[in-house]
Structure 1
Amino acid sequence: MTPTTEAASTRLPEGHANQFALLRQRRFAPFFWTQFAGAANDNLFKFAFTVMVTYQLQLAWMPPAMAGLAIGALFILPFLLFSATAGQLTDKHDKTKMIRFVKNLEIAIMAIAAWGFLRADAGVLLACVFLMGLHSTLFGPVKFAYLPQVLAPRELTGGNGMVEMGTFVAILLGQVAGGLLVALPQVGHATVAVACLLLALAGRAVAQAIPPAPATDPGLKINWNPVSETWRNLKLAHGNVVVFRSLLGISWMWFFGAVFLAQFPSFAKEVLHGDEQVASLLLVVFSVGIGAGSLLCETLSRRQVEIGLVPLGAIGMSVFAIDLYFASRGLPAAAQMGLGTFTAQPAHWRVMADLGLLSLFAGLYSVPMYALIQMRSQPTHRARIIAANNILNALFMIASSVIAGALLKAGFTIPQIFLFTGIANAVVAFYIFMLVPEYLLRFVAWVLSRFVYRFDIQGQEHIPEEGAAVLVCNHVSFIDAVLLMAASPRPIRFIMDHRIFRVPVLGWLFRLAKAIPIAPQKEDPAAYEQAFADAVQVLREGDLLAIFPEGAITRDGSLQPFKGGVMKIIEAARAEGMETPVVPMALTNLWGSYFSRIEQRDGQQVAMVRPFRRGLFSRVGLRVGSAMPRAEVQPESLQRRVSVLLGT
């Protein structure tokens, strides 16, 4: 049995209740709890050590303000050094066996760390920080390569949301436990030592229940040179432009998050004038926000990989990071406060709201990016792509530590660093979305299909999850293409009347979407032929192509006769040996909306005259039929199928 068929045999039915149903599945639940225990242990250990250095030890060579940065940088250094090797090992070997090996390693590391806590030996604990970084380096490619091997494409967003939520809840519990346990008088260090060992043992026990996940490239020859393999992995990732730039986007998110996470103990102590419990509260708020944002992704995306959420997440991250600066810069000096005193002051609730909301939007930003990378990477080298992601993450997090440390030394306050990060996030996000316009296009489609219209989709499963296909739809309004984008988990290239590119804003969007302009043959023969050549090239590349065979937007709401251009495309594809599926679609209830030609002006029917003529959340729909048998694909039969879908 191949990995693909094995995964398919255990997948949930399409109609399962929600992402939480995955926790009742053996293919997901033991893996979820294994990674949960590992993340909790990582963070219990690291945060207990950070709090110990910040509040309890007086180390001349590691001042409290730099402790979080130093520990964070040392933890991620193995990602930079060994991710390439970890990616190869994951592609070559059964992922379940890799997970169990990593959990055995964790037990050994935690035994050494327990000795370091009992002796309060910062040197030993720093060595364990590096070793736990190695543990996480080995687990990272397994974590994200395992999911697409056992989940259906429509489960990827929910599955990633659950893992992201679980990771940050584990971070929350681990860091809260670490902060509280290490502060226990006289027994704090011993308690942390025992807790770390117990979590490592629990993670290894639950890993035993993970089902086999066969190797995707068992014949791979391992290159043990980390430098050359790192370069090879980065080149491999760069081969898919959308995937590579998504890796950069995720790495930037880790830069952003690392700045905040590393500064929480010092921010709580020096800016908010709180004790260890206040530092733990900030982590609670941040982790709950990430978890909530991650879980929201499935609901907001209609269970598809919806990268339109990424710009929304980026906007929220910047807005609330910048407001955090204004919320925290004017707080008066005070004696160190406990949790009760801190929460009794209204000004501190704004700080916590900013932290919670910026982290919620970070969850909306990251989950769709991870799902996109998993869906669009080749299974045989998916783990190496994820390893490349971990390498870039490490570089960006090291850069965040260096830049934050330099800003601190230059005299910047912690709130000013947050302000700098929020502004930088806005600049970087805009740059990424211009490089990969698909994110921006999907955001526009997502907004239109949820806030301007109430968009109901039926038969979405008929849109092919992979391979070339021709999508044939009726043409009702100027935003038909935008609504089709919102319905498809994959990007679509459109053939569109060249005149639509003259419409303000919409014309710019369609150029951004690389829509193919077509002019009547009598008007511009060269443009006509070029459009068909470009259309066939889209199919040759294995992508989705959409065409509106009526040739123009309807002027009375009725379905117009289909023209023969669609057959010219299909026949040209067949001539190259491509039997491309043809999927009929029908947009319903869109006639009469603002973007349809229903208004009269100077004796002509025009669109976009009366904004919100049907109000917000106007009901519209898309009905998707099954692919037509090849022998039946003719303009007349296509028109009949679309008419049936319309209910006419």
Structure 2
Amino acid sequence: MTTTTHLLRTRRFLPLFVTQLLGAFNDNLFKNAMVLFVVFNVYNSEQAEARFSGLATALFIVPFVALSAISGQLADMRDKARIIRIVKTCEIGIMTVGAAGLLLAWKGIEVHALAIPLMLIALFSMGIHSTFFGPIKYAILPQHLHAEEVLAGTGLVEAGTYLAILAGTIVAGYISAPAAAIGVIVVALIGFFAGQRVPPAPPEMPDVPLALPLLRPFLRRPRGLLRTLGMVPVTVADQAVSLYRLVHSTTRHPRVFLAIAAISFFWAVGAILFVQFPPLAKNVLGCSKEVASLFLVVFSVGIAIGSMSINRMLKGAVSARYAPACVVGTGLFVVAFHFVCAAWPVPSQRGLLTLGLFLRAPLAVPLVGTLLGIAITGGMFIVPLYAFLTTVVEKCEAARTIAANNIVNSAAMLIGSVLAMVLTSMGVSIVDQLLFTGLLCFISALLGWRLYRAELAHHGEQEHHTFDEMG
């Protein structure tokens, strides 16, 4: 833990850590405050609520798939600290729009015509914000930290992100819409000032023009301005090809491909679990929404614990050595979670169990314990793989490698969410879906084992991509 506490006292790491912490908190504070307010105060139809929730999720994830290619390019070819400052400046404007939507909805002013569209625009824009910040928060670490500090820094970033998600989710459920509107602007301002303290992180490759995606009808006029800014306008179709080439050029290397594949399977499993938690709590366990929130709290805390624990086990070395065993543990805990849920007694009293009644139930401790085990082993699995991606490639290529990873991860999460809905529509019970989720963990274990074998075979080597062909 010496390395960890040392990093938290250095300017090389602390401003970045605070900036990403506040960004993740604000994402989840706004997103959850918006969804909870609209679902509980605007709509009275389950179908309308489901459509809104699905639309909100899609709007936030779509930028990760569509723009990760250019965000990785940008991070590798421009000063990362400067990009952070630009992104955090934009966050203030985005949160101002979102806050206006929240306040209009709270006042009942043009709720459907203006308030909800404003909030959805802000949510989509925050997805763009996170897409451009995502590659930087990992790729900047090898530039600012020593080799033996990268794993500890990655673990802190990962743990901080999950704790921020947890805090944002909890706070959103307990504060009013006006308080949330004020809160997101205040947090954006603090994040802006923290971002100003991040040390410069200049590009470690030659300065080349960026390929900026634009619709063809708008290509003529801005060409001169874009070239002045060091950008080259391309069509959306060209950018789609560029996105494909980014993923292809990254994943053609065995170690990078296996790391991204293992991470993506993990996030697909995570997406299915998160989709299952609320209906599981209500329909299988007969519990209230506070219990569903407890599941999310336990999951987030467990991920944070696992993220910090693996650094001590590996003693600062970046390795996939424990990845197979950790994700096998995740699968076994998921199976155990399934059996505990299957054995859960049907409540005899009317109404849903409160948090207090749930905690006094005979099987509450093993239920929470197995869920905590899922999260801890998951955190221990995921952190070394993220550190692996930023250290197995040249520093000048790290951001685009993370961007390619984000594209595949986002697609995997969408597939996982859709798969959970398909299984439900096919009549597969939620408890039985847990068994299926556990089986997917063993696929990640196989990928992790193959990754460790590739790591041993290519120890000390770095992968070299051919990103210049993306143009």
- Alignment counterpart, residue 342 of structure 1, candidates 358, 368, 377: 358
Per the alignment, residue 397 of structure 1 pairs with 413
What secondary structure sits across from 1:326 in the alignment? helix
Relative to 1, partners in 2 of residues 1:336 and 1:52: Cα closer, same or farther, differing over 3 Å?
farther
Once the two structures are superposed, what CA deviation does each residue of 1:151-204 show, in whole Å capped at 9, x if it has no partner? 1221111111111110111111111111122xxxxxx21122112111111111
1:270 aligns with 2:283: yes
Matched-pair contact (CA < 8 Å) for 1:72–1:262: no
CA distance in 2 between partners of 1:100 and 1:345 (Å)? 50
CA distance in 2 between partners of 1:542 and 1:108 (Å)? 40
What secondary structure sits across from 1:346 in the alignment? coil
Relative to 1, partners in 2 of residues 1:89 and 1:542: Cα closer, same or farther, differing over 3 Å?
closer
Once the two structures are superposed, what CA deviation does each residue of 1:402-425 show, in whole Å capped at 9, x if it has no partner? 111212222233333332211122
Matched AA of 1:118: L
Relative to 1, partners in 2 of residues 1:241 and 1:428: Cα closer, same or farther, differing over 3 Å?
same
CA distance in 2 between partners of 1:412 and 1:112 (Å)? 41
Relative to 1, partners in 2 of residues 1:314 and 1:392: Cα closer, same or farther, differing over 3 Å?
same
1:314 aligns with 2:327: yes
CA distance in 2 between partners of 1:227 and 1:17 (Å)? 45
Per the alignment, residue 8 of structure 1 pairs with none
Per the alignment, residue 256 of structure 1 pairs with 269
CA distance in 1 between partners of 2:369 and 2:59 (Å)? 31
What secondary structure sits across from 2:319 in the alignment? coil
Matched AA of 2:5: F
Once the two structures are superposed, what CA deviation does each residue of 1:362-393 show, in whole Å capped at 9, x if it has no partner? 11110110111111112222211111111101
1:437 Cα offset (Å): 5.0
Relative to 1, partners in 2 of residues 1:46 and 1:414: Cα closer, same or farther, differing over 3 Å?
farther
Per the alignment, residue 134 of structure 1 pairs with 128
1:367 aligns with 2:383: yes
CA distance in 1 between partners of 2:399 and 2:205 (Å)? 10
1:336 Cα offset (Å): 2.3
1:87 Cα offset (Å): 0.6
- More moved, 307-316 vs 34-43: 307-316
1:219 aligns with 2:184: no
What secondary structure sits across from 1:223 in the alignment? strand
What secondary structure sits across from 1:296 in the alignment? helix
1:66 Cα offset (Å): 6.8
Relative to 1, partners in 2 of residues 1:317 and 1:229: Cα closer, same or farther, differing over 3 Å?
same
- Alignment counterpart, residue 170 of structure 1, candidates 164, 175, 178: 164
CA distance in 2 between partners of 1:327 and 1:63 (Å)? 33
CA distance in 2 between partners of 1:69 and 1:369 (Å)? 30
* Cα RMSD (Å): 2.4
Per the alignment, residue 559 of structure 1 pairs with none
Matched AA of 1:298: N
What secondary structure sits across from 2:140 in the alignment? helix
Per the alignment, residue 332 of structure 1 pairs with 346
Per the alignment, residue 226 of structure 2 pairs with none
Matched AA of 1:332: V
CA distance in 2 between partners of 1:54 and 1:312 (Å)? 41
Per the alignment, residue 281 of structure 1 pairs with 294
1:264 Cα offset (Å): 3.2
Once the two structures are superposed, what CA deviation does each residue of 1:491-542 show, in whole Å capped at 9, x if it has no partner? 367xxxxxxxxxxxxxxxxxxxxxxxxxxxxxxxxxxxxxxxxxxxx99x78
Per the alignment, residue 10 of structure 2 pairs with 25
1:352 Cα offset (Å): 1.6
Relative to 1, partners in 2 of residues 1:412 and 1:96: Cα closer, same or farther, differing over 3 Å?
same
Once the two structures are superposed, what CA deviation does each residue of 1:53-95 show, in whole Å capped at 9, x if it has no partner? 5544435474556765553333211110000010111111111
CA distance in 2 between partners of 1:361 and 1:213 (Å)? 33
TM-score by length of 2: 0.84
Once the two structures are superposed, what CA deviation does each residue of 1:566-624 show, in whole Å capped at 9, x if it has no partner? xxxxxxxxxxxxxxxxxxxxxxxxxxxxxxxxxxxxxxxxxxxxxxxxxxxxxxxxxxx
Relative to 1, partners in 2 of residues 1:308 and 1:217: Cα closer, same or farther, differing over 3 Å?
same
Q: Is the radius of gyration larger for structure 1 or structure 2?
A: 1
Gaps of 5+ in 1: 1-15, 182-187, 440-489, 494-537, 544-648
Relative to 1, partners in 2 of residues 1:412 and 1:108: Cα closer, same or farther, differing over 3 Å?
farther
Per the alignment, residue 180 of structure 1 pairs with 174
1:306 Cα offset (Å): 2.7
Matched-pair contact (CA < 8 Å) for 1:179–1:277: no
Matched AA of 1:339: L
Structure with bigger strand share is 1
* Greater RCO (CA < 8 Å, at least 6 residues apart): 2
Matched AA of 2:23: G
1:232 aligns with 2:245: yes
- Alignment counterpart, residue 87 of structure 2, candidates 90, 99, 102: 102
CA distance in 1 between partners of 2:86 and 2:46 (Å)? 35
What secondary structure sits across from 2:98 in the alignment? helix
CA distance in 2 between partners of 1:272 and 1:195 (Å)? 34
CA distance in 1 between partners of 2:378 and 2:127 (Å)? 23
Once the two structures are superposed, what CA deviation does each residue of 1:438-491 show, in whole Å capped at 9, x if it has no partner? 27xxxxxxxxxxxxxxxxxxxxxxxxxxxxxxxxxxxxxxxxxxxxxxxxxx63
Matched-pair contact (CA < 8 Å) for 2:265–2:440: no
Matched AA of 2:167: L
Per the alignment, residue 4 of structure 1 pairs with none
CA distance in 2 between partners of 1:374 and 1:317 (Å)? 24
TM-score by length of 1: 0.62
CA distance in 2 between partners of 1:61 and 1:70 (Å)? 14
1:245 aligns with 2:245: no
- Alignment counterpart, residue 180 of structure 2, candidates 167, 177, 192: 192
- Alignment counterpart, residue 296 of structure 1, candidates 295, 309, 316: 309
Matched AA of 1:165: A
